[in-house]
Structure 1
């Protein structure tokens, strides 16, 4: 077993390996394959196969700088989406104890305790005061 491990390590030396874009392409391949089981479309199967082939190609590639640049471009798009999804789930999880409002001046999302009615809030970032109406 150690011999196989050594050969694999030697083979992967100087190759890019896996990153966040690889995992995203793999997850997309899994989703498309599961959808294709129900739909049974030749086009969908071809598209999903393209994603897995590209993911494997990226993992075995020796052009490390280009693969890293691709991953950076992906992360510039993915990180804001991920941040918004996490905030959405956090809002749902904390709906009984907090409300989230945006500051009208600097657009920062503030976490406010539930005080029903009209309240004056001071933004910790820009120090501006503004009124907040909390109904529920």
Structure 2
């Protein structure tokens, strides 16, 4: 087993390996496979197999700079989506405690405690006062 491990390390030296794009493609391929189990479509099977083949080719690639650029482009798209999803989930978890409103002047999102009815709020960033109405 030790000899096999050494051979594997020797084979993978100088190769790109796995990154965030690899894991995203893996999840996408698994999702397509799950859907394909229900609908049994040849196109979905070919698509998932193609994604898996592309994952393997990327991880064994010796062109590290090109793979890093691909991952960087993916992260430029993925990170804002991930941040917005986390904010949305946090807002749902805190819906009983806080309300979120944007300042009409500077557009900063403010976290406000629940005070039902009409309230006057002062933005901490631009010092603008504005009215907020909380119904629920």
Q: Structure 2-normalised TM-score? A: 0.92
More off after superposition, 11-20 vs 104-113: 104-113
CA distance in 2: counterparts of 1:42 and 1:95, whole angstroms: 44
List, as ranges, runs of 4+ consecutive aligned residues in structure 1 with deviation greater than 6 Å.
none
Shift of 1:34: 0.5
Match of 2:18 in 1: 18
Shift of 1:88: 1.2
Shift of 1:58: 0.9
Cα 1:14–1:106 shift into 2, 3 Å: farther
Gaps of 5+ in 1: none
Cα 1:57–1:96 shift into 2, 3 Å: same
In angstroms, what is the RMSD of aligned CA positions? 1.4
1:52 equivalenced with 2:52 (yes/no) = yes
Shift of 1:130: 2.5
Match of 2:113 in 1: 113
Shift of 1:84: 1.2
